[in-house]
Amino acid sequence: LALRRDPTPGLLRWLTPPPIAPPTNERASEDDRLRLALERERTRALELEAYAFRLEEARARLEEANVELEGFAFAASHDLGTPLRTVEGYAELLLIGHSEGLDPIGYDLVERLHQTTGRLRRYVHDLLVLSRMRPDPTAVTKVMAIGELVADVVSDLNLGQFGDVVVSGELPVVEVPPTPIRQALQNLIENGIKHNRSPRPTVTVRGETDGGLAVIWVGDNGTGIAERDQATVFDLFARGSDTQAVDGSGAGLTIARRALRALGGELWITSSSERGTVFTLAFPIRFRADLPRIAREPGEI
């Protein structure tokens, strides 16, 4: 078995060793059989090592491709956002300051231009946020009371005219990177109010600690998400089959799940027409870059 340089530049490949010839003598001694078994073991070990090497190589290439892809999403959204906002701004100026020069059809067209550009700008903004939302082992952590964070997010979102946000009981205090948890709570709370058709949309936030985990539930009093939509609700730009009238890019839940994963946690959904939609957020109370991912959903209180 030898490590040789593949003709492809930079690649090292294991070459398969020649097969071991079976013993010609039917009555091989015990020693010969042992030697043969030992050789086979050795070959197997070397083959395994070669597989591990190739696997590591593939993993490194995949990681590189991922970083490149995220870099591309970031650069594209960064460079598209400003011109889009500029077009939207000019359309606004036309509508507000120069509408007397437009006939009704012209006014309607500019209005559509303005709305479409605005929607596109929000997509681009969400892509930008998404491309930045990835695990960062060097992230700076902060001690944060989730209750205060929720109050802060609610005040920033200015949702008073659309509905209520109720915090039920004490919420955990955690030590995590602030951006992902804030982003996740913001998107889930905003979603729970704006995609909610009850007469007075209400979002209830509850939480507890479970061993080293913080578990937060963000639930709404809406009519739930259709079962056929639940599987795709975290997909990028997924729109529920009955949410066409609601403004938004459809990236909010994708961003929220990615944010939880950046905290070493996970985000789940349960939804029914009777009980509304509940999002469960579970993540380590103290952020550590090397914690294994959470795979199982904690039970509800």
Partner 1 sequence: MVPLILIIDDDADYALLLTIYLEQGGYRVATARSGLDGLQAALRLSPVVVTVDYRLPDLNGLEVCQELRASEATGEVPLILVTGNPQPELEEKARAIGVDGFFYKLDLTASAFLATVEQVLRRRFVA
CA angle 150, 154, 155 (to 5 degrees): 120
Question: Phi and psi (nearest 5°) for 283?
Answer: -160, 155
Q: Are 268 and 230 in contact (CB under 8 A)?
A: no
Smallest distance from the beta carbon of 85 to partner 1, in angstroms? Answer: 5
Strands 202-210 and 164-167: parallel
- Residue 50 tokens, joined: 């070669």
User: Where do contacts with partner 1 occur on this chain (CB under 8 A)?
Assistant: 74, 78-79, 81-86, 89-90, 93, 121, 124-125, 128, 132, 178-179
223, amino acid identity: T
Please, which residue, 176 or 278, has the CB nearer to partner 1?
Answer: 176
Q: In Å, how far are 78, 79, 81 from 113, measured between CA atoms?
A: 21, 20, 16
CA angle 253, 256, 260 (to 5 degrees): 140
Smallest distance from the beta carbon of 125 to partner 1, in angstroms? Answer: 5
Smallest distance from the beta carbon of 153 to partner 1, in angstroms? Answer: 15
Smallest distance from the beta carbon of 115 to partner 1, in angstroms? Answer: 15
Q: Are 197 and 221 in contact (CB under 8 A)?
A: no
Please, which residue, 179 or 254, has the CB nearer to partner 1?
Answer: 179
Please, which residue, 89 or 106, has the CB nearer to partner 1?
Answer: 89
Smallest distance from the beta carbon of 294 to partner 1, in angstroms? Answer: 25
Please, which residue, 57 or 79, has the CB nearer to partner 1?
Answer: 79
Please, which residue, 1 or 87, has the CB nearer to partner 1?
Answer: 87
